[in-house]
Amino acid sequence: MTKKHQEFIGKDVAEAISRACEQLDVAQEDVQIEVLATGTQGIFGLCKKKARIRVRLKEGRSEEGRQRGRQAENLVAPVTAAPVASAGQDGDDGVEVAPEQIEEQPPLIEDALLEQVRGDMHKMLELMGTPSQVEVSVDRETILCRIDGEFIADLIGPEGRILDSLQYVQRKMLGASLPERAVLSLDAGNYRENRLQELRQRALDLAAEVRRSGRNATLPALSPAERRIVHMTLREEPQIRSRSLGDGPFKKVLISGLGSEQDARPGREEDRGRAPRRPRGGRGRRDSKPPAAE
């Protein structure tokens, strides 16, 4: 077993020690532990830091610990590669390949993270005065957090803005605890699915209207996820293109026909229906003087 130091992390020191003993397959009394960081819970789950320890196997560890360590070392037996060339030919007769350590990949989203998501959301809803039922599940790399109860309408808000804000805050609360490839999706009732179906149908209806009338159409400000649904829905529609307009996270979506005059001039769709701009200076020139009295 190697005598070099190895570092382990966990949500607290106890979890880091448990992970170290499990991975090294030794008892806790057979390792020297140096605590590098105790970890902090932060404020309401924000700015959390994990505990970090440095571990080294003791020289005079117990016989049981040595046996468990040897078992861990022998998890992968040396293998011999097939000869590259037969005897009498150029090349080596055989090459012995060094053993390669194979580590079992942990699940991307652990149960502890799901419990953290459920607990944080439940606490936040109670502080908001809208206590609700919270269920958390996993679909591949997506954490699905669903809210149910009597306050669903209040938590969704106009156009789902409150729900989007809660989802944003929840992601910030998780911080580094959320794996890089993992996605968090917060839903209330079945709002998300109903909303996506509504957006798809609305986009298709507006595309048909654009083809019929030849005039551009605009969807109101949408979140990035909703805009992506609209763009993907219209991608296969013939003679139709879509693009986002505006600044900030919520943007409008312009639906236009290919080659239309308004499509070639970005931003002109917002001028439809407006009165022509008056020349600078108003109805008449303010600096003009009345004719002198005779």
**For residue 270, what pLDDT is reported?**
39
Q: What are the residue ranges spanned by the domains of the chain?
A: 6-74, 111-189, 196-271
The 3-state DSSP class for residue 24 equals helix
**For residue 160, what pLDDT is reported?**
87
Of 95, 73, 69, the closest CA to residue 82 belongs to: 95
What one-letter code names the amino acid at 43?
A: I
The 3-state DSSP class for residue 235 equals coil
**For residue 6, what pLDDT is reported?**
86
Place of tokens 């910030």: 172
Of 59, 211, 124, the closest CA to residue 134 belongs to: 124
DSSP structural state of residue 140? T
161-194 pLDDT, tens digit per residue, is 899 889 988 888 888 778 778 888 899 988 988 9
CA distances (Å), 76 to each of 66, 98, 226, 249, in order? Answer: 17, 10, 49, 51
What one-letter code names the amino acid at 96?
A: E
Structure token pair of residue 99: 């053993």
**Sheet containing 217-222, strands listed edge to edge, beginning at the edge strand earlier in sequence:** 217-222, 251-257, 240-245
Contact 15, 35 (CB under 8 A): no
**For residue 277, what pLDDT is reported?**
53
CATH number 3.30.1370.50 given to 196-271: yes
Structure token pair of residue 153: 């309408």
Q: Collect all residues with Cβ–Cβ distance below 8 Å to 284 and sequence separation of at least 6.
A: none
Q: Give the residues of the chain that fall short of pLDDT 70.
A: 1-3, 40-48, 60-107, 259-294
**For residue 278, what pLDDT is reported?**
54
219-233 pLDDT, tens digit per residue, is 988 888 889 999 999
Class of domain 111-189: alpha beta
The 3-state DSSP class for residue 46 equals strand
